[in-house]
Structure 1
Amino acid sequence: MTTFSTTRYFAASPATLFEAIRNPERLVRWWGPLGFSNRFHAFDFQPGGEWRFDMIGPDGTVHPNESRFEHIEPERRVVIQHTCAPFFRLAITLEPTGDGTTLHWDQTFADTRIAEAVAHIVKPANEENLDRLGVEVTGLPQIT
């Protein structure tokens, strides 16, 4: 098993960050790496709920995605199982820190070979994803 972990402080409350995850109108704006857009087909934000969407790359390539929400603890934790290749589990944990929130983003691949093959994409993409979340919740770029 291989886990890619990213931690980021946001000058926003856990409630504000959770809303940006829970609300599909907001999530569609920031999910994914820089330059990508999204088209949601299903978004059932509850444990066991389906999330199907296309990520559209800067070159117009469509990347279909299918996931299931495994665990949701409001304003604290969301766990998503990516149910199409590449298979991974994403745990997003929100930790109150002073006047803001520390977000822990842990993406775990069961197959180490797959993780090694996509590491060069996943590591910067996760950082860009959190950059975009920061802009969504504060209107300003975040310091990593």
Structure 2
Amino acid sequence: METASDLRNDPRWDVYMRDCPCREVLDLVASKWSALVLGALAGRAYRFGELRRRVDGISQKVLTQTLRQLERDGLVTRTVYPTTPPSVEYALAELGRDVTQHLIAISEWSKRNYDRIVDARQSYDARTAERAPV
């Protein structure tokens, strides 16, 4: 079996190559909804309705799909409690806790740099407006 260091040197595992299997993982964790759900779960476990309220703007359908995918990929656990009606709780799995620390860092970076990005956009828009044909 190949080790992680073997894989880093294998051209099949170059995320910049079209056929790299890691692109599936990158697609999942780079998704806005996955990142927000994982970030919310970093604080504590949530029931479905609570999580939907916490991740403002997500539809029930998209939250269901996102949670299923995150559970399938081992990032989230789903626990069903034998109550009437049954209560379901979602929490980060170990793998989810590992990736979430990076997503939280990106979230913090986004907050720190938001004003700079807005300034860059405005500058770009002003420059391109000057060049636009009349």
- Please indicate the TM-score interval, normalised by the length of the shorter structure: under 0.3
Task: Give the structure-1-normalised TM-score.
Answer: 0.26
TM-score between both structures, scaled by the size of structure 2: 0.27
Higher RCO structure, 1 or 2 (CA under 8 Å, sep 6+): 1
Greater percentage in helix: 2
Higher Rg: 2
Please identify which structure carries the higher strand content: 1
